[in-house]
């Protein structure tokens, strides 16, 4: 009897992470569910055990904590994971000058630091697997700067760049690398962001994203990036070819980004 593969899924308490975890369990993967909300993780773990007979482990960790990724890696190391899905992430939705510095620090920690460190820590295990899989959830926002969503879009541009580089570095191995770029998805993202002004582009469902993820995981195409939604795919190809200033102007209008509500307060007045 072939041993089940083990998949670690961050952001598994809701949305894309929960959807992908369900799909992996349905394909007979044992799962490690990672997020902050232990109660939601336990409920999903019970569901997956009952529905598919798989082992489902819960690791309740806040990935905004700089030590969070290392805590996850320590908790799952003995399982020798074959699959890592970095689905944890959130966005803030103000002009940078209006953002809470502590909140955007957490955004960078979750979207960039935790994803990078956890990928690095689990990559040896993924490479050792005869059928390793790395899925990093990026966004169509990664293909251009987005005024009013500046930190989120920049963090996702980093994720796309990192993932494509890891794909190139690991070619010739058994590892499949997927950079997943959904458009606006029907998840809690906009509730967390506090606005739905940024539903720009083709809105996709969790089911669509999961379907694209599973198909990309089975293939080894000429590039790792998988964009969800045909209109989003067209936009992702066209946008980088347009003049940057035009892209910024159009994007700002689409998102409703505007000038700061009031003059920013200087950090200091130059007085010795």
Give residue 135's Cα distance to chain centre.
8
Cα distance between residue 142 and residue 145, in whole Å: 7
For residue 197, with 0-12 CB atoms within 10 Å meaning exposed, 13-18 middle and 19 or more buried, which class applies? middle
Q: Which active-site residues does the annotation give?
A: 138, 152, 156
**Residue-wise pLDDT tens for the chain (272 aa)?**
457 899 999 999 999 999 999 999 999 999 999 999 999 999 999 999 999 999 999 999 999 999 999 999 999 999 999 999 999 999 998 899 999 999 999 999 999 999 999 999 999 999 999 999 999 999 999 999 999 899 999 999 999 999 999 999 999 999 999 999 997 766 555 455 455 555 555 688 899 999 999 999 997 678 899 998 777 777 777 777 777 787 777 777 777 775 444 444 444 433 33
DSSP 67-98: THHHHHHHHHGGG--SEEEE-------S-GGG
Distance CA(74)–CA(27), nearest Å, equals: 25
Distance CA 191, CA 162 (A): 27
Residue count of the chain, please give it. 272
pLDDT for 61 equals 98
> Hunting for tokens 């994971």 — which residue is that?
81
Is the pTM for the entire model greater than 0.75? yes
Predicted pLDDT at 272? 34
């Amino acid at each position: 009897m072939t041993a089940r593969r083990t998949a670690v899924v961050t952001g598994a308490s809701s949305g894309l992470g929960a959807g992908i975890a369900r799909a992996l369990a349905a394909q007979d993967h044992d799962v490690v569910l990672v997020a902050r909300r232990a109660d939601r993780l336990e409920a999903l773990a019970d569901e997956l055990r009952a529905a598919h007979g798989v082992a489902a482990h819960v690791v309740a960790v806040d990935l905004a904590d700089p030590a969070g990724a290392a805590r996850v890696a320590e908790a799952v190391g003995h399982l020798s994971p074959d699959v890592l899905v970095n689905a944890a992430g959130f966005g803030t939705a103000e002009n940078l000058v209006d953002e809470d510095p502590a909140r955007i620090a957490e955004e960078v920690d979750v979207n960039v630091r935790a994803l990078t460190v956890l990928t690095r820590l689990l990559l040896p295990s993924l490479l050792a697997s005869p059928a390793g899989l790395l899925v990093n959830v990026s966004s169509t926002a990664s293909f251009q700067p987005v005024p009013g969503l500046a930190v989120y879009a920049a963090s996702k541009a980093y994720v796309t760049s990192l993932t494509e580089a890891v794909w190139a570095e690991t070619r010739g191995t058994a590892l499949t690398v997927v950079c997943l770029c959904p458009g606006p998805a029907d998840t809690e993202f906009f509730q967390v962001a506090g606005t739905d002004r940024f539903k720009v582009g083709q809105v996709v469902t969790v089911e669509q994203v999961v379907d694209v993820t599973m198909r990309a995981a089975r293939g080894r195409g000429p590039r790792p990036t998988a964009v969800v939604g045909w209109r989003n795919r067209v936009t992702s190809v066209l946008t980088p070819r347009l003049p940057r200033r035009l892209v910024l102007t159009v994007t700002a209008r689409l998102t409703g980004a505007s000038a700061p509500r009031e003059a920013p307060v200087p950090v200091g007045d130059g007085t010795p």
